[in-house]
Amino acid sequence: MPDRAIGVGMLGMGTVGGGVAAILKASGSKLKENTGFDLQLKKVLVRDTALSRKVSLPPDMFTT
């Protein structure tokens, strides 16, 4: 099966969303190797874009 890129959008960066973002950021290449899918975090919907987050992502990745 050829590698395919899949864009991922998330609703929220709380406990669960932050954990998912951390996994995608830290283990993206391992997930691609195991599944053949390149999961790319594209956007995250949050209430406040100015809040500090546990996972460091580019500011333009957040939207309200």
Mean pLDDT split into 10-residue runs, the chain, 64 residues: 85 95 93 92 96 92 96
**Burial (CB count within 10 angstroms: exposed 0-12, middle 13-18, buried 19+), residue 7:** exposed
**pLDDT of 42:** 97
Distance CA 15, CA 24 (A): 14
> How many residues make up the chain in this entry?
64
For residues 64 and 43, the answer to whether their CB atoms sit within 8 Å is: no
